[in-house]
Amino acid sequence: MKILNGSELAGFIKERQKNQVRTLSKKPKLLILRDSDNPVITKYVNLKKQYGEDIGVEVIDTYINTDLIKDKIIHANKDSEIHGIIIQLPILKKELTDELANLIAPEKDVDGLGENAKFDSATATAILWLLAGYDIKLAGKKIAIIGRGKLVGAPLYKMFKASNYHVDLFHKGSDLTKLNQYDIIITATGVPGLISSSMLKPGAVIIDAGTASEKGVLKGDLKEEVRERNDLTALTPKTGGVGPLTVTALFDHVIQAI
């Protein structure tokens, strides 16, 4: 069974990005806006800050009240020194997510969350890189995406449909027992242990892009029993799968935005 190690792939791309940034006339700058310090959000913000430092991109981490995010976006849109703007999701007032994402200038929407963003979703891009990097073929395969969130499910489904792949979207209320009919399963619900071994057929490729905090411990969507199987074709590790490549894809967009 292949272990889909995103950290390894990200390392190669990171070296290329370092060289790219060195050739730029000015330093790329990324603004992160967040209204929470829960463990999952803090972890990903710190990863981005460290990654930016490693490749020479300035990262501004702004922790503010949700009601102030709108004004920050408007100001940053006009600031020529800021090349990328992201809202670290989820925000506390989830009902404002779409409004705020669409407020980001399309050319600075490096997470690809807004309707008119000039960049694809960073997480969806990371999953495509992961599949390509390990030579997982999509043509002729039955693909299931579990979860239709803005970060992963919805944009990835759109990208797969545009490429004419056979893809189905599962969401809350869908019959997950039907997953055993699929060759490639990408899950991103943030519901720990949602996917059990009995739902997966031998030879399947499983990508777990779900992230949640359970008693301070980061958890994916897969039950631990899935990792005990040896008849799967490929599987992401507990850590170091999609996450590292998502950060890499995000910074690729920041560099392109300058």
Q: Distance of CA 62 to CAs 85, 96, 138, 187, Å?
A: 11, 18, 39, 30
> Does the pLDDT value for residue 184 go beyond 90?
yes
> Does the pLDDT value for residue 200 go beyond 80?
yes
Q: Report yes or no: 226 and 195 within 8 Å, Cβ to Cβ.
A: yes
Q: What is the pLDDT of residues 56-102, one digit of tens each?
A: 999 999 999 999 999 999 999 999 999 999 999 889 999 999 999 99
- ∠ at Cα 51 (45, 57), nearest 5°? 100
Residue 154: name the closest of 132, 118, 121, 127 by CA. Answer: 121
Q: What is the C-alpha separation between 16 and 174, in angstroms, rounded?
A: 41
245 CB contacts (<8 Å, ≥6 apart)?
6, 9, 10, 13, 126, 127, 129, 130
Which run of H or E residues covers position 205? Answer: strand 205-208
The DSSP bridge pattern shows strands 2-3 and 234-235 to be parallel
Q: What is the C-alpha separation between 42 and 57, in angstroms, rounded?
A: 19
Q: Report yes or no: 206 and 231 within 8 Å, Cβ to Cβ.
A: no
Task: Work out the mean pLDDT of the chain and round it to a whole number.
Answer: 95
Identify the pLDDT of residue 39. 81
Identify the pLDDT of residue 110. 97
Identify the pLDDT of residue 211. 83
> Does the pLDDT value for residue 216 go beyond 80?
no
> How many of the other CB atoms lie within 10 Å of CB of 17?
21
> Does the pLDDT value for residue 43 go beyond 90?
no
Q: Is 208 helix (H, G, I), strand (E, B) or coil?
A: strand
Q: What is the pLDDT of residues 120-138, one digit of tens each?
A: 999 999 999 999 999 999 9
DSSP label of 206: E
This prediction has a pTM of: 0.90
- ∠ at Cα 209 (37, 12), nearest 5°? 95
Peptide bond into 90 cis (omega under 30): yes
Identify the pLDDT of residue 38. 86
Which residue(s) pair with 206 in the sheet? 185, 235
Q: Distance of CA 242 to CAs 50, 80, 185, 232, Å?
A: 17, 31, 14, 18
Give me the domains of the chain, ranges plus CATH numbers: 13-121+244-257 (3.40.50.10860), 137-232 (3.40.50.720)
